[in-house]
């Protein structure tokens, strides 16, 4: 399955590999607290949060606070959005050639969520230190 097929022929794996080469994007990682949150809530709940955040904060054609709508911390999906350059329409345009000022299609929203969840899944492969609070 291609990622953002309307604008580029990039798979999730290709996108993740490209992001790993960026010093800025590769600097993001889930902290122990965020990993525990994922474990406690479960993957399905985290994915629903991702769907809600993408729909509300990225999908509209015009976003009044574009570039500032995604916090840098506070939720695993927020961290994933910055790590995958899915944090604002500017980053989506730069990294994935997704046109600005056009609403994201359902398919594009789904592809973003799949990329976010793939990144979170990778991060969760590292064991959680249960003694760290």
Question: Three-state DSSP class for 6?
Answer: coil
Q: Is residue 50 part of a domain?
A: yes
How does pLDDT run along the chain (133 residues), one tens digit per residue?
Answer: 345 554 455 788 899 999 999 999 999 999 999 999 999 999 999 999 999 999 999 999 999 998 899 999 999 999 999 999 999 999 999 999 999 999 999 999 999 999 999 999 999 997 656 554 4
Q: Is residue 129 part of a domain?
A: no
Domain count of the fold of the chain: 1
User: Encoding tokens for residue 101?
Assistant: 């000022």
Range of the domain at 51: 12-124
Helical (H) or strand (E) element with 85: none
pTM: 0.88
Q: Is residue 39 part of a domain?
A: yes
Other Cβ atoms less than 10 A from the Cβ of 34: the count is 23
What whole-number distance in Å separates Cα of residue 123 and Cα of residue 13?
14
What is the DSSP track for 42-83? Answer: -HHHHHHHHHHHHHHHTSSS--TTTTSSS-SSSSHHHHHHHH
């Amino acid at each position: 399955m291609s990622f953002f097929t309307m604008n580029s022929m990039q798979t999730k794996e290709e996108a993740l590999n490209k992001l790993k080469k960026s010093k800025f994007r590769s600097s993001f990682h889930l902290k122990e607290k965020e990993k525990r949150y994922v474990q406690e809530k479960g993957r399905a709940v985290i994915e629903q949060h991702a769907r809600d955040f993408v729909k509300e904060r990225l999908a509209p054609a015009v976003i009044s606070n574009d570039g500032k709508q995604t916090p840098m911390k506070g939720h695993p999906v927020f961290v994933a959005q910055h790590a995958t350059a899915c944090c604002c329409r500017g980053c989506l345009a730069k990294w994935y050639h997704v046109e600005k000022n056009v609403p994201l299609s359902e398919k594009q929203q789904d592809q973003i969520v799949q990329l976010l969840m793939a990144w979170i899944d990778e991060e969760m492969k590292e064991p959680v230190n249960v003694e760290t609070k």
